[in-house]
Structure 1
Amino acid sequence: MTIVDAAAQSKTFTRAWGDLLDGYRKRELWLHLGWQDIKQKYRRSVLGPFWITIATGTTAVAMGGLYSQLFHLKLSEHLPYVTLGLIIWNMINAAILEGADVFIANEGLIKQLPTPLSVHVYRLVWRQMILFGHNIVIYVVIAIIFPKPWSWADLSAIPALLLIMLNCVWVSFCFGILATRYRDIGPLLFSIVQLLFFMTPIIWNDNTLQQQGAGRWAKIIELNPLLHYLDILRAPLLGADQHWRHWAVVIGLTLLGWLLAAFALRQYRARVPYWV
């Protein structure tokens, strides 16, 4: 078999799908590595990973309290809104920024340990789910202080979280491969994500725009895809009305994203070890 034939065989969707499946079968490895990442970061700390919860909770309470006063909103409504927004945003933000660095950060493992590329992505997403689990405790406490009526429809938060996890995987694959090949992508994404934070309804909402006479911006904000990801998970947890358009956009972007990820894996999976 020639080098050209070997390269052609590596660029198949079967190989790309095989990488995803092989990575999942090695779940004991990435589950362990993801948990070790958390433990290592807070090594010799008394509170350990709960420093994440404290930091996020402090930020949420400070921003929720401040902006509820600035925008003349009820604290009992705005504080849970901001808290959930920050918790979900942290997960999405990590999928983009840490996803762009996922292969570069694991250069040693990629070159020395023959494992599927998906192991490193699964490790990243699993680590973010652990952090999400720590942070959601903040919302539970706030929900006890400011109780809301619940309904069976609010259980849609479960498929919404699973859907966001699926999106975190393809985002990490696409940006990870792209940023490994072109190192300027990482800083560029950092700047874009910073801008999107202020363009996404996390510390403000539609009522804020209306009060400030900027309701016309609502249509422009709809073009921000992160708005839809936030709403499918935040709305049911707040007991708020859910809009089908958010689910339609997220499902559409999920399908499109996985097509892009499949193409990226098919074309460039074998080149990543050389690029890192």
Structure 2
Amino acid sequence: MTTGDDRAEGSTSARPVVVDVPGSRSWRRAFGDLGQGWRQRPLWGYLGWQDIKQRYRRSVLGPLWISISMAVVATAMGILYGALFGEDIATFLPYVATGLLIWYFVDGCIREGSEVFIANEGLIKFLPAPLSLHVYRLIWRQTLFFLHNLVIWAVLMIVFPHPLGWSLLLAIPAFAVLVLNGAWISVLAGIVATRFRDIPPIIASLTQLLFFMTPIVWKYDTLLANPAVAERARLAELNPVMHFVEILRQPLLGQPIAWRHWYIVGAITVTGCIAALVFLRNYRSRVAYWV
């Protein structure tokens, strides 16, 4: 006969119990995870490229649809909002298109980053690979999307020439900073969302709100020049995404560089990287149980 204690023991054994392996919470293992993932570049590089190919499988134009879809959206928004705000299409259309180019990268890192471990549940459970491999794969995939869409910016610079100078070289470190921030956001949001599954839909809703709060289809400087709304317009500075967009858009459009955006982005980058490393150190070993 089965006693109550036996039944209780059986029900307990049926549930996975998270047990911290001695030494699992260590900085050495956290940095080791990042290093092992980086050394597996051929694997996550191939997987990231395959993600794009699978998305446009059996399509005649293939990955060109990435640039075509962005070109259509940027043109429609540029013409519509340019007419509403009375902006010159020659300057406003490149402004909107470049903003969308950067926003797509940021939005992809935030949205997909929150589900980076959930989406790779099978690989995490059955493939002995570092967690950072999935983050590198995500960032690489978003970088490929960005490079595809960069063609739209190049075409617009030919059709609507801008005074590009040496400041254009700042676009390289600016994009590198975006990549670094996309990585820590994916680690941090991915771990939290794996434990609390309500996080991804919340993040999806917040990113929609952030889009309209970020100067992409409207100009921040134009609002500042209007005394009636200048004080309220300054609230846009509280949106961290704005600063990430500006550090890359300004050199791409040949605009004067506002260094305050770099200072704010630098502070966010350092803080975010530290937080992501702490979470990776403390909860890396638990992700396989949570998925």
Equivalent-residue separation in structure 2 for 1:160 and 1:8 (angstroms): 40
- Tell me if 1:272 matches 2:291: no
Q: 1:76 aligns with which of 90, 109, 133?
A: 90
Kept in 2, the 8 Å contact 1:71–1:208? The answer is no
Counterpart of 1:51?
Answer: 65
Aligned AA for 1:10? S
* 4+ runs deviating over 6 angstroms: none
Report what 1:62 is aligned to: 76
Q: State the Cα distance separating 1:6 from its structure 2 match.
A: 6.3
**Residues in 1 aligned to 2:113 and 2:212: alpha-carbon distance in whole angstroms:** 21
1:199 to 2:222 alignment: no
2:43 to 26, 29, 40: 29
The alignment status of 1:102 with 2:77, answered yes or no, reads: no
Q: Which moved more, 1:52-61 or 1:206-215?
A: 206-215
Aligned letter for 2:64? F
Contact kept? 2:20, 2:285, Cα under 8 Å: no
Question: What SS is found at the alignment partner of 2:255?
Answer: coil
Unaligned stretches of 5+ residues in structure 2: 1-17
Distance in 2, matches of 1:101 and 1:214, equals 38
Q: Percent identity?
A: 53
Partner of 1:235: 250
Q: CA deviation at 1:208?
A: 3.9
Give 1:141's aligned residue: 155
Q: Which amino acid aligns with 2:71?
A: G
**Partner AA of 2:110 in structure 1:** I
SS in 1 for 2:82: helix
How well do the aligned residues superpose, as a CA RMSD in angstroms?
Answer: 1.6
- Structure 1, residues 86-125: CA drift from partner, whole Å, max 9, x if none? 1100100011110000000000000111000000000000
2:174 match: 160
Which is greater in Rg?
A: 2
Q: Is residue 226 from structure 1 mapped to residue 244 from structure 2 by the alignment?
A: no
Is 1:173 matched with 2:187? yes
Verify: 1:213 aligned to 2:228, yes or no.
yes
For 1:166-186, what per-residue CA distance to the aligned partner results, in whole angstroms no more than 9, with x for missing partners?
000000000000000000011
> Which of 244, 248, 252 is matched with 2:267 structurally?
252
Matched residues in 2 for 1:65 and 1:181: separation? 43
Task: Name the counterpart of 2:141.
Answer: 127
Q: Is the 8 A contact 2:52 2:141 kept in 1?
A: yes
2:277 aligned residue: 262
Q: What's the counterpart of residue 15 of structure 2?
A: none
The residue type paired with residue 134 of structure 2 is H
The one-letter amino acid paired with 1:115 is A
User: Aligned pair count?
Assistant: 274
TM-score in terms of structure 2 length: 0.91
CA distance in 1, matches of 2:19, 2:283: 16
Give 5+ residue unaligned stretches, structure 1.
none
Once residues 272 and 123 of structure 2 are traced to their aligned partners in structure 1, the CA distance between those partners, rounded to angstroms, is: 26
